[in-house]
């Protein structure tokens, strides 16, 4: 099975200047766990709910009074830059191996010819694709 058959197309994204606070709000309101970071349509990073949780907890523990200010920093300060990614025509088994080896829950899907983000493949997408086939 190809990744295009299981991925979520046109995922929600954030920009480098999006604040950590706004990224947290987006993840919560949209009930998603990963947010690709794009500039000019090109993938530059990704941030997960775990990244945001770790950062926000550290901010609260270090200085609860200053935590709100710390949450206004750009998401680019905590994102994973140049994340592992896959192409729509790649085999889903290879993507699963990549997620397991790197202990990550999602992979951005990038069209290699255009260099543009076209989707995201999460472990939830993989589970949906596997449902009824095992």
Per-residue pLDDT of the chain (134 residues; tens, 9 = 90+): 999 999 999 999 999 999 999 999 999 999 999 999 999 889 999 999 999 888 887 776 677 666 777 888 899 999 999 999 999 999 999 999 999 999 999 999 999 888 899 999 999 999 999 987 77
pLDDT of residue 71: 82
3-state DSSP assignment of residue 134:
coil
pLDDT of residue 123: 95
pLDDT of residue 55: 82
Instruction: Please give the structure tokens belonging to residue 53.
Output: 């949780």
Model-level pTM? 0.88
β-sheet with 34-39: strand ranges across: 34-39, 42-48, 80-81
Answer yes or no: are the C-beta atoms of 15 and 37 closer than 8 Å. Answer: yes
pLDDT of residue 13: 97
- Residues facing residue 129 across a β-bridge: none
């Amino acid at each position: 099975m190809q990744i295009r058959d299981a991925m979520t197309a046109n995922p929600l994204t954030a920009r480098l200047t999006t604040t950590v606070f706004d990224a947290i709000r987006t993840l919560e309101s949209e009930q998603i766990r990963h947010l690709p970071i794009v500039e000019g349509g090109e993938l530059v990073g990704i941030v997960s709910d775990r990244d945001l949780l770790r950062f926000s907890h550290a901010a609260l523990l270090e200085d609860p009074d200053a935590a709100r200010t710390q949450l206004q920093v750009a998401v680019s300060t905590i994102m994973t830059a140049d994340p592992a990614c896959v192409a729509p025509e790649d085999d889903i088994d290879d993507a699963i191996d990549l997620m397991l080896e790197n202990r990550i829950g999602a992979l951005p899907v990038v069209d290699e010819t255009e260099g543009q983000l076209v989707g995201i493949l999460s472990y939830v997408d993989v589970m949906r694709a596997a449902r009824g086939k095992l």
